[in-house]
Amino acid sequence: MTNDHDWETRVTALWERLDDHEPVDFRARVAALAAERPADDPAALFEQGAAHDSTGMPEEAVTFYRRALDLGLTGLRRRRAVIQLASSLRNLGRPDRSVELLTAERDLPADRLDADEQALSGAVDAFLALALADTGRDREAASLALGALAPLLPRYNRSLAYYARALLTAPDGS
């Protein structure tokens, strides 16, 4: 068995070459790396889920993500797993479940997240906006997306943030 740092380095290197591999080959390479770890290793399960997700197999990805989370996946991979699980569920026609997962993730107190996890807050908002739109909650989706965008603009930050919040209280069509 290899050490964690070596394994992580090889996983990262493989992901950097995702586009160099056919989907079946990429999944096989990730599975081979995962096989170096115990069968119940949450990180290895997450990587397999991500490999399936990134190669067009969301149903299989969901199984891996759920198992990794159930086994106590932590840190940045846990947050990524929630985002990716929610996205896969949305793509599989379960946007309500996606909204539930991402709303719970969004509601986590910032002091429970490290800087890398906090850096994914915009991704949580973006995927939640997609799921909200799929459930017919378009104004909430637009509000969330615009609110996430506002701090990134060189100007009009305050105005856009205000208008994003106003979408939730203004009657439709205004």
Chain segment 58-111, per-residue pLDDT in tens: 999 999 999 999 999 999 999 999 999 999 999 999 999 999 999 999 999 989
C-alpha closest to that of 65 among 98, 110, 93, 113 = 98
What is the DSSP code string of 23-63?
A: HHHHHHHHHHHHTTS-TT-HHHHHHHHHHHHHTT-HHHHHH
Work out the angle at residue 41's Cα, subtended by the Cα atoms of residues 36 and 46, and round it to the nearest 5 degrees: 100
* pLDDT at res. 172: 62
C-alpha closest to that of 65 among 41, 90, 84 = 84
Q: Identify the DSSP state of 112.
A: G
pLDDT digits (tens, 9 = 90+) for 28-55: 999 999 999 999 999 999 999 999 999 9
Q: Are 64 and 77 in contact (CB under 8 A)?
A: no
* pLDDT at res. 24: 97
Q: Is the pLDDT of residue 21 over 70?
A: yes
Q: Is the pLDDT of residue 171 over 80?
A: no
Please give the Cα distance from 3 to 107 (Å, whole number): 35
C-alpha closest to that of 81 among 97, 61, 59 = 61
- The pair of structure tokens assigned to 159 is 């105005």
